[in-house]
């Protein structure tokens, strides 16, 4: 079933979460350990991230370096199909522009369609490490909006290079990303929202936010989107902070601010256990308020670990 239909049929705030494919070489069963504890809360859908290949240089002796392209977490589409069959839950594969030509994108979409997967989250992806900015493939998409146009086109039976008059249309529900604290590359939030509107006009039926720790940012972002004519559901993305490492890593990596009250509490923590207690309590408060104020769904970033999300879900669902 499509995410948009889950949202339309919902009687209250839905629950969903995001997982990562296992590291290359690890068994698929390693991700079940992260999913199993969350199934009792009845997720409406599970997202699976897509990971672009990285470029590495390996010493080969005699001063020679070999350039290697390595995808550390392959298997997004296969995992989505397996989870859908095993847990009978809808899955949302992420698809990125980075590293894909338009032909490869089309192949991936055809595969999703044949597997009976009804959803896709359309993203640009980040620049490869060591590249100063995002560089699309020669025949790839520079922005998520271009990918959304391609998926929308396929939903209308428009295949690449195809003169076929009666090509079978796909029927994929398209989601896209948004950033209550603006995307790091955007000149400002107004510009970012203007581009966001283009993604919705191109066919994105709902949006999922970057993680945020201050609900006020989410509410004011939703208001600004509505003022600009973005009327699709905007799903808040939540992440409990659980380790001392997170405190430094999350704001820097995702360019998000911690509100003063949370920052003060975390600065008083000396151990991971203290951080975890504080982070979970904070996310519970966030989730309660978002639910009370009618958020369509609460989407949790598990980053491969589900205990903290389970603690939050126990209080909310
Ligand atoms: C919910 C969510 C899930 C994610 N999952 C993944 C994942 O699985 N794999 C992964 O690699 N990354 C993932 N990301 C990260 C995402 O790929 C990066 O944040 C990336 O830098 C931007 O992706 P986007 O789809 O928002 O890009 P875009 O919508 O293309 O926006 C990127 C930047 O370009 C600007 N822009 C947009 N359209 C135009 C235009 N037409 N012309 C000029 N400028 C424009 C925007 O303002 C923004 O600054 C995820 C992010 C979120 C919020």
Ligand 1 atom showing the smallest separation from residue 125 Cα: 17
Give 264 Cα–ligand 1 centroid separation in angstroms. 31
User: Within 137-271, where are the H helices?
Assistant: 144-155, 189-202, 215-227, 244-254, 260-267
205 SS3 class: coil
Q: Residue 256 — very low, low, confident or very high, per pLDDT cuts 50/70/90? A: very high
- Pairwise pLDDT comparison (132 vs 124), residue with the higher score: 124
Give 197 Cα–ligand 1 centroid separation in angstroms. 13
Task: Please check the confidence at residue 277 and state whether its pLDDT lies above 90.
Answer: yes
As given in the structure block, the two tokens for residue 276 are 């975890």
CA dihedral 46, 234, 302, 317 (to 10 degrees): -80
Ligand 1 atom showing the smallest separation from residue 192 Cα: 47
H or E element at residue 17: strand 14-19
How does pLDDT run across 112-122, given as a tens digit for each residue?
Answer: 999 999 999 99
Q: Residue 56 — very low, low, confident or very high, per pLDDT cuts 50/70/90? A: confident
Q: Are 210 and 247 in contact (CB under 8 A)?
A: no
Task: Please check the confidence at residue 164 and state whether its pLDDT lies above 80.
Answer: no
How does pLDDT run across 81-108, given as a tens digit for each residue?
Answer: 999 999 999 999 999 999 999 999 999 9
Give 143 Cα–ligand 1 centroid separation in angstroms. 7
For residue 98, give Cα distances in angstroms to 53, 94, 152, 197, 213.
9, 12, 19, 21, 28
Angle at 129 between CA 124 and CA 134, to 5 degrees: 35
Task: Please check the confidence at residue 63 and state whether its pLDDT lies above 90.
Answer: no
Q: Mark residue 161 as left, alpha or beta (left: phi above 0; alpha: psi -120 to 50; beta: remaining).
A: left
Q: What whole-number percentage of the chain has pLDDT above 70? A: 99
Mutate which of 100, 126, 177 to test ligand 1's pocket (most atoms within 8 Å of Cβ)? 177
192 SS3 class: helix
Residues with CB under 6 A from ligand 1: 49-50, 52, 94, 96, 123-126, 143-145, 177, 183, 185-186, 192, 195, 198-199, 208, 210, 237
């Amino acid at each position: 079933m499509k995410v948009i239909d889950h949202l339309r049929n919902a009687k209250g705030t839905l629950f969903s979460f995001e997982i990562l494919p296992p590291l290359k070489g690890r068994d698929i069963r390693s991700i079940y350990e992260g999913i199993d504890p969350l199934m009792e809360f009845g997720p409406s859908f599970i997202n699976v991230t897509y990971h672009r290949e990285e470029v590495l240089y390996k010493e080969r002796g005699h001063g020679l370096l070999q350039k290697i392209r390595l995808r550390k977490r392959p298997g997004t589409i296969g995992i989505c199909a397996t989870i859908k069959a095993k847990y009978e839950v809808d899955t949302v594969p992420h698809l990125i522009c980075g590293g894909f030509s338009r032909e490869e994108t089309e192949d991936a979409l055809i595969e999703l369609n044949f597997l009976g997967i009804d959803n896709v989250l359309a993203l640009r992806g980040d620049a490869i490490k060591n590249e100063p900015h995002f560089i699309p493939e020669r025949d790839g998409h520079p922005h998520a909006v271009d990918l959304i146009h391609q998926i929308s086109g396929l939903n209308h039976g428009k295949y690449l290079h195809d003169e076929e008059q009666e090509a079978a249309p796909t029927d994929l529900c398209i989601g896209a990303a948004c950033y209550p604290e603006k995307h790091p590359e955007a000149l400002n939030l107004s510009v970012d929202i203007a581009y966001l509107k283009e993604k919705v006009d191109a066919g994105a039926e709902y949006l999922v936010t970057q993680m945020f720790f201050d609900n006020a940012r989410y509410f004011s972002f939703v208001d600004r989107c509505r003022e600009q004519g973005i009327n699709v559901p905007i799903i808040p993305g939540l992440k409990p902070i659980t380790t001392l490492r997170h405190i430094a890593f999350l704001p820097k990596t995702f360019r998000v601010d911690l509100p003063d009250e949370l920052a003060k509490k975390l600065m008083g923590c000396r151990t991971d256990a203290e951080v975890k207690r504080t982070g979970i309590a904070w996310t519970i408060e966030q989730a309660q308020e978002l639910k009370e104020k009618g958020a369509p769904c609460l989407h949790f970033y598990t980053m491969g670990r589900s205990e903290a999300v389970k603690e939050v879900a126990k209080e909310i669902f």
